Structure 1
Amino acid sequence: MVTPLRAVIGLLLAAPWVAILWVGSYAKVDPTFIGIPFFYWYQILWVVIASALTGTAYLLWQRDQRARRGGAR
């Protein structure tokens, strides 16, 4: 059953995929960051963002699982 919390988890996990697969949004050189073209630092930034989103999704999943079991660990 898809609950609102599980929908949020799905969105958190899908966001990095959409951002990286939409190449037209970052297929450019400018602006540069410490001499690194935008194309590269945008992808590196998404590694950090994806890690945070995946960690958040995991914590939400754990909370959902505890709620489904009635709070028992």
Structure 2
Amino acid sequence: MPWRRSSPARHRKHEGQARAVADRRARSGRFDPADVSPAYYRHVHNRIAAGQPVRAYSRDQHTAYLASRKVSA
């Protein structure tokens, strides 16, 4: 089966789903969605696109992301 690129419409659909899932998890009271790592949003998108369960965003991931922002600033 030859490799096939997904359509832009499908990508937008998954992107919207990913944002909704990540925002809902972030709004659970633990994290501000604006402060959630972009890598987590990519993770959510990729897992939804692959039909896999999404892993939770942990306090350790958040702490590491905030520390990396301080270092690169």
- TM-score with structure 2 length normalisation? 0.31
Higher helix share: 1
Greater relative contact order structure (CA < 8 Å, 6+ sep) = 1
- TM-score with structure 1 length normalisation? 0.31
Max Rg structure: 1
